[in-house]
Amino acid sequence: MSDEDQDLDLPENLPTSGRGKAGRAVLNSLGAVPFAGGLFSAAAGYWGEQEEAKANEFLKNWIDMLHDEIREKEKTIIEITARLDLHDQKISDRITSTSFQSLVKKSFREWPAAESEDKRILLRNLLSNAAASSVSSDDVVRLFIDWLGLYSPFHFEVIAAIYNSDGVSRGAIWDKVGRDRVPEDSADADLFKLLIRDLSMGSIIRQHRETDYRGNFIKKKPRPKGSGGSTMVSAFDREEGYELTALGQQFVHYAMSELPPKIGYTASEEDS
């Protein structure tokens, strides 16, 4: 257990005062939590046994959550280190640089990985590749870290479904992410449209466009008037195609491409 873990240690069952109020024993137990002492002192003449017990349980659960976050961060750092070739001087210089340390601090301060293990793995991959590769600038990597906090795991499933499938339709994307068919007027259909809109507005995906030999986008020919049907375009339309932007492609390279471990590592009981 780390020093930070030990600073947050609490007994398994927090003691209560014999008078049924938040007494000195409780305050001593919570001395490591900056705001707790003032809170319990202010409530000493107001709380009864039930209120005190609930407050104790809440704070214990909160500190347990902090312990879990610290362990997740330790695990992530170990996994990143195991994937880097520290014999490479460029990588060694990179991970000790102020710019890379800034990326790590941003990641750990915001900790977007708290939502799911999948996000923790994306963050681990992102920082590993940011240390080993210079394809994207640090400004772009910071944006990718923001995306991990902004978007849901479902967003990232959609990104993965579009990768290497330029021109894939919304209906085909829905099939690739393995969701059941749902009615057009359902909440799931609305959610899917929202995801596509989020990723489009975030410059991660766009509608598929043809390019000329110089890489310039070619304008689409407008549809003749009166050629539209009587119903709105489906959330699962199979006509319009989508592709990743250059930013989206680099995000996949950094966050969804896993570097293999350079050294073997088996987690001990203390790490798990």
For the segment 118-141, what is each residue's pLDDT rounded down to a tens digit? Answer: 999 999 999 999 999 999 999 999
The winner for highest mean pLDDT among 21-25, 201-205, 238-242, 257-261 is 201-205
- Residues 170 and 125 reside in one and the same domain: yes
Q: Please tell me the predicted confidence (pLDDT) of residue 15.
A: 46
Q: Report the pLDDT averaged over residues 162-182.
A: 93
Domain count, the chain: 2
Q: Please tell me the predicted confidence (pLDDT) of residue 16.
A: 47
End position of a domain, from candidates 51, 82, 113: 82
- pLDDT band for 174, please (50, 70, 90 cuts): very high
- pLDDT band for 212, please (50, 70, 90 cuts): low
Q: What does pTM read for this prediction? A: 0.74
Q: Please tell me the predicted confidence (pLDDT) of residue 119.
A: 94
Q: What percent of the chain has pLDDT over 90?
A: 51
Q: Report the pLDDT averaged over residues 67-94.
A: 91
- Residues 31 and 129 reside in one and the same domain: no
- Residues 206 and 114 reside in one and the same domain: yes
- pLDDT band for 10, please (50, 70, 90 cuts): very low
- Residues 138 and 65 reside in one and the same domain: no
- Residues 114 and 77 reside in one and the same domain: no
- Residues 66 and 158 reside in one and the same domain: no
138: nearest Cα among 103, 111, 113, 108:
103
- pLDDT band for 18, please (50, 70, 90 cuts): very low
End position of a domain, from candidates 82, 106, 126: 82
- Residues 196 and 68 reside in one and the same domain: no
Distances from the Cα of 221 to the Cαs of 75, 168, 169, 218, in angstroms?
53, 19, 19, 9
Domain that holds residue 164: 88-272
- Residues 100 and 64 reside in one and the same domain: no
- pLDDT band for 19, please (50, 70, 90 cuts): very low
- Residues 47 and 131 reside in one and the same domain: no
- pLDDT band for 147, please (50, 70, 90 cuts): very high
- Residues 241 and 134 reside in one and the same domain: yes
d(CA 243, CA 159): 9
End position of a domain, from candidates 34, 60, 82: 82
- Residues 213 and 268 reside in one and the same domain: yes
- Residues 115 and 196 reside in one and the same domain: yes
Q: Please tell me the predicted confidence (pLDDT) of residue 11.
A: 47
d(CA 64, CA 72): 12
